Amino acid sequence: MTPDGKHPRQSHSPARAGLQKRAAEYFNLLHKAYPDAHCELNHKNPLQLLIATILSAQCTDTRVNLVTPELFRRYPSAKDLAGAKQDELEKLIHSTGFYRNKATNIIACSKALVKQHQGQIPKTMEELTSLPGVGRKTANVVLGNAFGINIGVVVDTHVVRLSQLLGLTKNKQPEKIETDLMALFPTAQWTLLSHLLIWHGRRRCNARKPDCQNCELSHHCPSCTSHKGVL
């Protein structure tokens, strides 16, 4: 289902068929380049992934991974987090930025988990997004990576930028970009697709200095400065 609750539109026009062919080629090339692509937020269980994803807003995964070991040592369960003192939690997560709001959301989210789900992470989009501080992107991260459930595509800043550069969408809003990507790629690929695009954005197609000369997608990318996309 798309973010608006509808099924992704499938078009059989020649233009759409060509775009789907390009999308499939992108996926294959990226999978070959990054066969080990995965979520780079360190976690041992669904709760840890949920909390780490909340912390990752406006923050790098690397920074989050420096903070979470001590955080999860002190607060190993949803019940522990629900009982955390705001000021103590803020100190632990301070370096991730927006720490007051994040601490408030983590405590409120944990209280809801304890009260509504016996401290366990729910496995539906509706239940996850009803939790304080959890939006569709965070829910997609948890569902796809903790449970192997492909409900949608995680659209972060890398996915937004690369999907536009690669000609996969003309939209700018994450929800609309997600809908476009869901219509182009098979459901089974949705979780991995986001990892592949994120890894490529971090390792090759850097926003400030894209390495078009050595890019695995250079011959097919319409935005490439080294070659003209030919697929």
Residues labelled as active-site residues: 137, 156
Distance CA 91, CA 141 (A): 26
Structure tokens at 196: 């592949």
- E strand or H helix at 55, and its extent? helix 46-55
- State the greatest distance between any 2 C-alpha atoms of the chain, in Å, as a whole number: 58
* Contact assessment for residue 229 and residue 25, using Cβ atoms and an 8 Å cutoff: no
